[in-house]
Amino acid sequence: MKDQELENGTAKGPSPTSSSPSLPPATDENVTTPGVCHPATEVEGAAGNSVTVCDVSEELSRQLEDILSTYCVDDKQEGAGDSEETDKGAQETPKNGDTELVVQEVNGEKEEMRVLEDSRTINETEKDQKRMQDKKKAKGLGKEITLLMQTLNTLSTPEEKLTALCKKYAELLEEHRTSQKQMRILQKKQTQLIQEKDLLRNEHSKAILARSKLESLCRELQRHNRTLKEEGVQRAREEEEKRKEVTSHFQVTLNDIQSQMEQHNERNAKLRQENVELADRLKKLIEQYELREEHIDKVFKHKDLQQQLVDAKLQQAQEMLKEVEERHQREKEFLLKEAVESQRMCELMKQQETHLKQQLALYTEKFEEFQNTLSKSNEVFTTFKQEMEKMTKKIKKLEKETTMYRSRWESSNKALLVMAEEKTLRDKEQEALQAKIQKLEKLCRALQTERNDLNKKVQDLCKSLEATPGQHVTQEESSSCIGLPLGENAELSNSGACGQQNAPSSPVLPSTAAE
C-alpha cells in the first residue's frame, strides 16, 4: 500500500505541471496565449475578435477544470489511503514523511523550504514542552520526597517505616500503571494527530499550488479584460460614427415625410369643405321632404273628405291598384337589383381598400428595412423612393375611384329609401280602400235584407186584403196596394243605385228599416 501511495504521489506530481506550459508565468506579461491576439494584430473585423474571445474563454475554463480535476482526484486517493494508514499505527509515520518529501519535490523548492521551516518550528516547540514537563516532574518529586521524609521521621520503629514505604510503593505502582495506560492512549492519539498533520501539510501544499495557478489565470484574465476594454472602446467609437450617419439620413427622410404630411393635411381640408357643402345640401333636401310630407297630409285630409267619390270609383281603383302593384313590383325588383349590385361594388371596393392597406403595410415594412440598410446602399433608396411615388399615384387613383363608387352607392341607397317610403304610403292607401270596400259590402247586404223584408210585408198585406170577405175592393185600391210595393221597390233600387254617389245617406237606411 505504501509503494502504491508513492507511485500515486509520483503520478500526481507531473499532472499539474503538464497543464502549466499552456499557462504564462506570473512575471512575463508580454507573453500571450495561443488564443489571445496581440493588440497590434487586431485589424480584422468583429467576427475575428469574437472568435478569439471565445477561444480565450474556452482555454481558461479548460485550465480551471484541469486544476480542479487534478486536486479533487488527489484528495479522493489520499482519503482512501488514510483509512488504511490509521490501522497501522505510529510506525508508518516516517514513510508518510517520505510521501510528503516526494510531493514537495514535485511541487517545488519553495514549498520544501516552507515545510522544513514548519517542521523545525514544531520540533522546537515539542522540545520546549518536554523540558517544561521534566522541570515540573523534578519539582513534584522533590516535594514528594520531602513529604516522605517528614512522614518517616514521625514514625519511631523501622518496621512501621517499612510498612509505610511498602504502602507508598504500592500506591506509586498503581499510579505508574494508570499513567502507562494513559500514556499509551495518548501515544495513539499522537499518532493519529501526526497523520492528520501530514494530511493537512499535503493539502496545504496542494492549495498553495492551486493558488499559484489561479493567480496566473487571474493575470491572464486581467490582460484579456484590458484587451476587451480597448476593443469595446474602439467598437463604441465606430458605432457612434455609424449612429450619427444613420441619424442624419433619418432626419432627411423625416423632413420628406413631414412635407408629405402637410400636403395630405391640405387635401383633407379641401375634403372637409366639400363635406360641409354636402351637409348643407342634405339639410335642404330634408326641409323639402318635410314640406312634401305636410303637403301629403293635406292631400290625405282632402281624400278623407272625398271618400264618397272614391266609393263610386272603387272598381276603377281596384284595377288601378293592380296596375300600380305590378309596376311597384317591377320597380322594387329593379331597385333591389341595383342595391345588390351597389352592395357588391361596395364589397369589392372594401376588398380593394383592404388589399391596398395590406400593400401599404408591406411597403411600410420595406421602408423600415430600407432605413436599416441606408448606410450600405444609396441606390436602393432611390429605387424605393420611385416605387413610393408610383404607389402614391396608385393610391390617389384608388381614392378617387372609392369616392366615386361611394357617391353612387349613397345615391342608390337614397333612391331605395324613397321607393320604400312610396311603397309604405301605397300600402296604407290600399288598406284604407279595402276597409271602405268592406263597409260598402256590409251596407249593400243590409239594404238587400231590408228590401226582402219590405217585399214580404207588402205581399202579406195584399194577401190579407184579398182574404177579407164583405169588402169590395176597387181596382184603384188594388192598384194602389200593388203600386205601393212597386214604388217602394223602385225607390229602394234607386237608392241602391245612388248609394254609391250619396254615401252619407246609406247609414240612415238600416235605422228606418228597423223603425
pLDDT at 273: 87
- CA–CA dist 190, 247 (Å, integer): 80
Q: What is the pLDDT of residue 28?
A: 39
pLDDT confidence tier of residue 452, bands split at 50, 70 and 90: very high
pLDDT of residue 469: 54
pLDDT, one tens digit per residue, over 54-98 is 576 677 777 777 776 775 545 545 444 544 444 444 343 334 444
The residue that leads in pLDDT, 445 or 12, is 445
Q: Which residues contact 360 (CB under 8 A, 6 or more apart)?
A: 391, 395
Residue with grid cell 251596407, as numbered in its chain: 443
pLDDT winner (highest mean) among 20-34, 104-118, 153-167, 196-210: 196-210
More confident of the two residues 243 and 321? 243
Q: What is the pLDDT of residue 36?
A: 37
- Give me the helix-helix angle, 158-305 and 46-85, nearest 10°: 140
109 pLDDT tier (thresholds 50, 70, 90): low
* pLDDT(508) > 50: no
Cell numbers 194602389: residue: 480
Please say if the pLDDT value at position 500 is more than 90. no
Cell numbers linked to 177: 500503571
Are 485 and 455 a contacting pair, CB within 8 Å? yes
Q: Specify the pTM.
A: 0.26
Model pLDDT, residue 138? 63
**What is the identity of the amino acid at 32?**
T
Cβ-contact 342, 412 below 8 angstroms: yes
Range in 14-28, 131-145, 305-319 with the lowest mean pLDDT: 14-28
Q: Where are the alpha helices (DSSP H) in 26-45?
A: none
* Phi, psi values for residue 352, rounded to 5°: -60, -40
274/280 Cα distance (integer angstroms): 10
**More confidently predicted of 189 and 137:** 189
The Cα–Cα gap between 212 and 217 comes to 9
Query: How far apart are the C-alpha atoms of 48 and 498, rounded to whole Å?
Result: 118
pLDDT at 385 over 90: no
Query: In this structure, are residues 97 and 198 in contact, taking their beta carbons and an 8 Å threshold?
Result: yes
Question: Which residue from 118, 24, 19, 124 is spatially nearest to 64, judged by alpha carbons?
Answer: 19
Average pLDDT over residues 17-42: 38
Domain chopping of the chain, boundaries: 2-133+187-250, 306-466+475-514
User: Would the CA dihedral through 44, 45, 49, 52 be positive or negative?
Assistant: negative
Predicted local confidence at residue 48, as pLDDT: 53
Q: Please report which confidence band the pLDDT of residue 110 belongs to, taking 50, 70 and 90 as the band edges.
A: low
Residue 142 pLDDT grade (very low, low, confident, very high; cuts 50, 70, 90): low
Instruction: Give the highest mean pLDDT range of 4-18, 69-83, 241-255.
Output: 241-255
The most distant pair of C-alpha atoms in the chain lies apart, rounded to whole Å, by: 215
If you average pLDDT over every residue of the chain, what do you get? 72
**What percentage of residues in the chain have a pLDDT greater than 70?**
66
Q: How far apart are CA 104 and CA 168, in angstroms?
A: 53
Over residues 254-285, the pLDDT tens digits come to 888 888 888 888 888 888 888 888 888 888 88
Dist CA 15 CA 34 (whole Å): 21
Question: Phi and psi dihedrals of 146, rounded to 5?
Answer: -65, -40
Q: How confident is the model over 350-355, as a mean pLDDT?
A: 85
50/40 Cα distance (integer angstroms): 16
Rounded CA Rg of the chain: 66
Indicate if the pLDDT at residue 151 is higher than 60. yes
Whole-angstrom distance, CA of residue 204 vs CA of residue 115: 10
Pairwise pLDDT comparison (155 vs 489), residue with the higher score = 155
Q: Residue 437 pLDDT > 90, yes or no?
A: yes
In the predicted structure, residue 47 carries a pLDDT above the cut 90: no
Q: Quote the cell numbers at residue 192.
A: 493519529
Integer CA distances (angstroms), 203 to 17, 77, 93, 125, 179, in order: 17, 12, 17, 23, 35
Amino acid letter for position 17: T
The whole-angstrom separation of Cα 451 and Cα 434 is: 26
